[in-house]
Amino acid sequence: MDRTLKIYTKTDHLFAEFVFIYEHPRQAKVHYTQYRRLYNDDEEDENKSVYPGFDTETYLDFRQFDSIEQIKNYDIEVAKKELGRDMTDPRGYNYVYDATPVLLRYIVTNRIGGMVNILFSFAENIKEVKFLSAVHPRFDFDISSNSLETNISCITRIPLYVDRDVLEISSRDLKRLEPWY
């Protein structure tokens, strides 16, 4: 369910960007940036220049969704709630999820160690998870999922082999690196 929603004005200027993040089980937050136009309406602006005007992060109530449509409707509600005072005509905005896959990397910082690569596209409804063990390649693990499952829930399904025990990766043992687009 990790995703990025971009909101564009009627003139195709980027108005806001919402990044929904699920870093811990049953916990959700959104980091959003509201943008301002570089030029006024009366000035010509062919390159659609904007600059960040407001940047903040807030926690949301965790919800498990049954469909992508439910998520999209929820995201629009959150955007209207957070930006409602600045949205002059909520129907005049375009809500877009980029189809370009995003690569997220998590470093596993427990005593076993390793790296988790997650390549996902919310718009395409795909998620590929690859665990690279720091101990031995035989402990590497792959998972395929869809956009309804959080990255953390995929990661907790990865088995960690320690002696004769099988453990799971805790969200507290992860360090998330910056996304790569």
pTM above 0.85, yes or no: no
In a domain, 181, yes or no: no
Write out the residue range of the structural domain in which residue 35 sits.
Answer: 3-97
Q: Measured between alpha carbons, how far is 170 from 160 in angstroms, rounded to an integer?
A: 11
107 and 90: one domain?
no
123 and 90: one domain?
no
166 and 106: one domain?
yes
169 and 130: one domain?
yes
91 and 10: one domain?
yes
Report mean pLDDT in 10-residue bins for the chain, 181 residues.
90 91 90 85 68 91 92 93 80 89 91 90 94 91 92 90 83 86 62
Domain boundary among 97, 125, 160: 97
116 and 63: one domain?
no
Which residues have a Cβ under 8 Å from the Cβ of 164 and sit 6 or more positions away? none
Please give the tally of structural domains in the chain: 2
In the prediction, which pLDDT does 42 show?
Answer: 57
pLDDT digits over 76-101, tens only? 999 999 988 788 776 789 999 988 99
In the prediction, which pLDDT does 175 show?
Answer: 92
137 and 64: one domain?
no
76 and 125: one domain?
no
DSSP annotation of 180 reads B
Q: Which amino acid is at 92?
A: G
Q: Measured between alpha carbons, how far is 25 from 168 in angstroms, rounded to an integer?
A: 13
23 and 81: one domain?
yes
39 and 64: one domain?
yes
In the prediction, which pLDDT does 44 show?
Answer: 63
106 and 167: one domain?
yes
116 and 37: one domain?
no
Which residues have a Cβ under 8 Å from the Cβ of 170 and sit 6 or more positions away? 110, 156
Nearest partner of 147 among 102, 112, 106, judged by Cα: 102
In the prediction, which pLDDT does 89 show?
Answer: 75
**Taking CA 64 as the corner, what is the angle to CA 122 and CA 158, rounded to the nearest 5 degrees?**
70
3-state secondary structure of 28: strand
Q: Which two tokens stand for residue 61?
A: 């109530």
Cα-flanking dihedrals φ and ψ of residue 79, to 5°?
-60, -45
DSSP 33-82: EEEEESS-TTS--TT--EEEEEEEEEEE-----SSHHHHHHHHHHHHHHH
